[in-house]
Amino acid sequence: MSIMRTKAHIVHTLKAKRGKMAGKAKEKKRLVKKRSKGFSIDAVLTFIAKRFVKAGGTKLLITIFPYIMFAYFGNKMAYAYRITPAEDFFNKLVGGLSNLGGAFKTILPSINISDLLFGAAFGALMRLVVYLKGKNAKKFRKGVEYGSARWGTRKDIEPFMDLENPDNNVILTRTEGMIMNGRPKGQQYNRNKNSIILGGSGSGKTRFWVKPNLMQLHSSYVVTDPKGQLLIECGQMFKNAGYEIKVINTINFKKSMHYNPFAYLHSEKDILKLVNTLMVNTKGEGQQQGDDFWSKAERLLYQAYIGYIYYEVTREEQNFSTLIDMINESETREDDEKYKNPIDLVFEELAKDEPDHFAVKQYQKYKLAAGKTAKSILISCGARLAPFDISELRELTEYDEMELDKIGERKTVLFMIMSDTDSTFNFILAMMQSQMFNLLCESADDIHGGALPVHVRFILDEFANVGQIPNFEKLIATIRSREISAAIILQSKSQLKAMYKDNADTVEGNCDSLVFLGGKEKTTLKELSEILGKETIDLYNTSDTRGQSPSYGLSYQKTGKDLMSQDEIAVMDGSKCIMQVRGVRPFLSDKYDITKHKRYKELSDYDRANAFDVEKFLSTKLELEEIREDETIETYDLGEITDEDIADAV
């Protein structure tokens, strides 16, 4: 009996649980159904609205709304016309216009098919009228009819500057600059750091532009230094900042560190570049390239000798002295074609061992010339390298202290001191700059992933007197991405055209900023005035006629005027300068006052005690080099060490 009760109880409990579960399932299904209904109405409408806005629907709706209203009005007109009881068209039209108020008693449009079609056609017609009217409309540019030129404001230049860290700017004027390291906030404000600085003699190129930018200390610097004043006035500041200081002096070789172009030859390609730079910059004053045959013959001889020096001579003897000695030993005899000088014998021996040697191939081409022709080639080579007959110059290029390939890896300043009156030795500086550009680009590409760790800034004062850098128009277009930039400082644009001829415009076009400090050269003034553009001004004329019938008239009109004419630029205040950055309005600003810079007190301009002692610096460097050369390593002969000796030592 108890067992039957227990079974009944269990069955009852199971039925109750199943009932509850079924109830919960129904409730859950009801809630899901309710939610699904809510989703199908609210969520779908919300989704459609969002998609409509995202697709530009709001703008489209604003555009077509007036024509929807025209269509609505046309619909009401058609309705009023249709319900008017008249037989002829004219009376029906007049009656329809009278009944137009009644048509608007209800806000809803008529759903009659003819009324809907007329309303749509009326809206489309109004859209066509507006389109045709706009297409034939006159175009007015009020206030800028003759030009929109104006001077830039602080708001125009701020996106290009680092306002939080002023030391990270290239100083252009007292109030304008461009960010150096890093990028502006917007890609549209990104510009290269190449600059052209124009200013006649006495316009303050060094004081108002070069020195302020050197005081920023945000890069490595390569500075041309006419007369050597910058080194004396700024050298101590760089020393205090921990910069590596390098000096090459073509005025006084005794006050110069050593530079050997052969130390930076790493391939046959570098040999060709060195020879090309040497040829381009040793043509002589006013000398043309002359007969192409002689130039090419000279190149062959230089390439053969320098190739031999690079591959076959010890590191200590790889210099211009060895090259001069080889040329001096290259005797030829017109009356004896079979005569062999010591250099011939050297190359014959090398040809036996390595017939495909680079130097051998070049020398064999040179030897195709007859004795008299070869003698003329040797004379040309000797004349071209005549400056190396000076013992001081040969000593200067005997070995290298410049470490040009390290300038982009640590903060360094290189002062290139040159004469601004005599260009005899400027080819040395041209070779150095050409090698630097190539070395730094190769270092950026091959070692540092495309960009140097430390930005290298070339500040090339008296650029026209430095010498021609081969392919400079191509280099200046490609160095930006490698963290290299150049500031070209000239007295006038005509100097650049005289050096680079048709490529001058390419060089100028790859400089995103231009600063004019003053001058009176006509070409520069004319081009600058054209670049500044024209502004629109108001003009009024008065007329006063006297006589039997006197009259007086006053008329207003607009006209165009140069933002600054040539004569206005020529008489510009000496404290002012004109600056323009690509894509920005030009600026008429004050020149930078170096006394306001926080590092001005470190210059000798502030205190003569800050003057850099060049001789002391060079003598210290020389003593350190001598100590390194005198260092010896003592070695001892320990004889043969056996296992027993090692065991005893342990």
Alpha-carbon dihedral 579, 583, 584, 588, rounded to 10 degrees: 20
What pLDDT, in 10s, does the model give residues 181-208?
Answer: 888 888 889 999 999 999 998 899 999 9
Contacts of 611 (CB under 8 A, 6+ apart): 232, 233, 236, 604
Band of pLDDT at residue 285, cut at 50, 70 and 90: very low
Alpha-carbon Rg for the chain in angstroms = 42
Sign (positive or negative) of CA dihedral 351, 338, 328, 433: negative
> What percent helix, strand, coil does the chain show, rounded to 5?
55, 10, 35
Pairwise pLDDT comparison (62 vs 208), residue with the higher score: 208
Residue boundaries of the structural domains of the chain: 16-135, 261-398
Residue holding tokens 């070692």?
447
The answer to whether the CB of 417 falls within 8 A of the CB of 249 is: yes
Instruction: Output the pLDDT for position 635.
Output: 44
The pair of three-digit structure tokens given for residue 473, joined into one six-digit string: 């128009």
Instruction: Look at residue 147 and tell me whether its pLDDT is greater than 90.
Output: no
CA–CA gap between residue 28 and residue 24 (Å, rounded): 6
Residue 415: which of 427, 395, 429, 396 has the closest Cα?
Answer: 429
Confidence of residue 17 (pLDDT cuts 50, 70, 90): low
Question: For residue 94, what pLDDT is reported?
Answer: 75
- 255: nearest Cα among 266, 245, 264: 245
Predicted local confidence at residue 4, as pLDDT: 47
Q: What is the pLDDT of residue 288?
A: 47
DSSP calls for 524-565: HHHHHHHHH-EEEEEEEEEEEE-SSS-EEEEEEEEEEEESS-
**What is the predicted pLDDT for the residue at 650?**
44
- How does pLDDT run across 347-367, given as a tens digit for each residue? 999 999 999 999 999 999 988
pLDDT tens-digit readout, 287-325: 444 457 888 888 999 999 999 999 999 999 999 999 999
pLDDT tens per residue, range 373-404:
888 888 888 888 888 889 999 999 999 999 99
What does pLDDT average to over the chain? 84
The per-residue pLDDT for 623 is: 52
User: What pLDDT does 16 receive?
Assistant: 58
- 3-state secondary structure (DSSP) of residue 484: strand
Residue 556: partners with Cβ closer than 8 Å, 6 or more residues away: 538, 539, 540
The pLDDT assigned to 87 comes to: 73
| Average pLDDT over every residue of 621-640 | 48
Note the pLDDT of residue 455. 95
State CA 346 to chain mean position distance.
49
pLDDT beyond 80 at 457: yes
Mean pLDDT for 569-590 is: 94
Give the end-to-end CA distance of the chain in Å, rounded to a whole number.
100
Q: What is the pLDDT of residues 605-618, one digit of tens each?
A: 999 999 999 988 98
* Residue 226 DSSP label: E
- pLDDT above 50 for 628: no
| Predicted pLDDT at 643 | 55
Share of the chain above pLDDT 70, in %: 85
For residue 510, the 8-state DSSP code is: T
- Confidence class of residue 527 from pLDDT cuts 50, 70 and 90? very high
User: What pTM did the predictor assign?
Assistant: 0.74
Give the pLDDT of residue 236: 94
Separation between Cα atoms, residue 13 and residue 404, nearest integer Å? 96
**Do the Cβ atoms of 152 and 179 come closer than 8 Å?**
no
Contact 587, 572 (CB under 8 A): no
Q: Give whichever of 74-83, 124-133, 297-306, 366-375 has the largest mean pLDDT.
A: 297-306
Identify which of 274, 299, 445 has the alpha carbon closest to the alpha carbon of residue 381: 299
Report the pLDDT value the prediction gives residue 410, as an integer from 0 to 100: 94
Cα separation values, 49 from 52, 55, 59, 66, 318, Å: 5, 10, 13, 21, 79
Answer yes or no: is pLDDT of 128 > 50.
yes
Q: What is the mean pLDDT of residues 61-76?
A: 82
Collapsing DSSP states into helix, strand and coil, what is residue 107?
coil
User: Which two structure tokens, joined as six digits, stand for 301?
Assistant: 């001889």
pLDDT score for 636: 42
